[in-house]
Amino acid sequence: MSAIEVRDVWKKYRRPHVKTTSVKEAALAILRGQQGYDEFWALQGVSFEVQQGEAIGLIGPNGSGKSTMLGMLARVLKPTRGTMSVRGRVCPLLELGTGFHPELSGRENVFLNSSLLGLTRRETQQRYDSIVDFAELGEFMDSPVKTYSTGMVIRLGFSVAVHMDPDVLLIDEVLGVGDEHFQHKSFGRLLEFKEEGRTMFVVSHNLQSVGILCERAIWLDRGRMVKDEGSDEVITKYKAAVEAWERSLAEAKTRDAPAS
């Protein structure tokens, strides 16, 4: 049974020329007959399926639509066209460490964040010790989050997220959070998820980690799917393409250099 189904999904964004944030600017733009924005397609007809228990990586250069895809799978964004469905409880590991309120204690924020990810108060209570333990923040939990370092906030965010009981994990660039020790630990936790047969959807620029975590990878470029194959093949081809592109850049530079 497929856990994720994406059918011919398109996503259009409006890119304002000059950011219109006031009524006056908007009124002036209308008077001048300006539209005020460009439309651009972040995703252009992407389709794929992910089977239950499969781990799939999404790679591609900046601006290729990876995060947009993830945002739509998390239901944070809506596709402009096309349909998508995700079966089961989804745990989005997006924007880790955001959504914490600086004035509230770590403890209070854990409960707020967990409820945002779909846990009830009781479920959070059951996991609370384990969450604190994993984040290694024992003695800080009653201090306001504004006194935390960036690393502590991210650790707490990650810890809350991996204590959900998800069928599908959506992971956006969280493979390298925290110090060396925490990176090992969090990567180990993700491997455990994989062994438990949970579906994983990983967006990352860390190709090595994608290679280890995922058996399959999708390569996106400017909103279109380039490849959807085994992760090792896709990564090899992607690396080759990036190298070729860098070579051509370097060549263009040396070619132009004498002229100038």
Partner 1 sequence: MRSSAMSELLEVLRYREILWNLVRRNLKVRYKNSVLGFAWSLLNPLMQIGVWYFVFKILFGRDEPNFMALLVTGFLPWLFFSQTIMDSTAAVSQEMPLIKKAYFPRTILPVSVLLSNLIHLGFAFIVLLALFALWGVDLNIHYLWVIPSTILVAVFAYGLCAMLAAWSVFYADVKFIVSNLLGLWFFLTPVLYPLKLVLDKTMESPDNWVEFFLQSNLPLFKKIYVIDPLTIAIEGYRSALLEGGAMPIADPRYPFWHYAIGAAVIAVATAVIGQIIFRRKADAFAEQG
Query: Which chain residues interact with partner 1 by CB under 8 A?
Result: 13-14, 21-24, 26, 71, 74-78, 92, 94-95, 98-99, 101, 103-104, 108, 111-112, 115-121
Q: Looking at beta carbons only, is 42 or 214 nearer to partner 1?
A: 42
Q: Which helix (H) or strand (E) holds 142?
A: none
Structure token digits, residue 215:
């058996």
- Cα–chain center distance at 251: 34
Q: Which is nearer to partner 1, 77 or 212 (CB)?
A: 77
Report whether 46 contacts 11 (CB < 8 A): no
Q: CA 171 to CA 67: how far, in whole Å?
A: 10
* Residue type for position 56: I
Q: Which is nearer to partner 1, 9 or 74 (CB)?
A: 74
Tally Cβ neighbours within 10 Å of residue 244.
Answer: 10
Minimum CB–partner distance for residue 169 and partner 1 (Å)? 13
Residue 141 or 235 having the CB closest to partner 1:
141
Q: Between 103 and 251, name the residue whose CB sits nearer to partner 1.
A: 103
* 166: phi then psi, degrees, rounded to nearest 5: -85, 150
Q: Which is nearer to partner 1, 10 or 241 (CB)?
A: 10
Tally the C-alpha atoms within 13 A of residue 90's C-alpha that lie toward its C-beta: 17
Q: How far is the CB of 91 from partner 1 (least distance, A)?
A: 9
**Shortest distance in whole angstroms from residue 190 CB to partner 1:** 19
Residue 22: CB minimum distance to partner 1, A: 5
**Pairwise CA distance, residues 190 & 204, whole Å:** 14
Distance between CA atoms of residues 137 and 140, nearest Å? 5
At its nearest, how many Å lie between partner 1 and the CB of residue 253?
Answer: 36
Shortest distance in whole angstroms from residue 137 CB to partner 1:
19
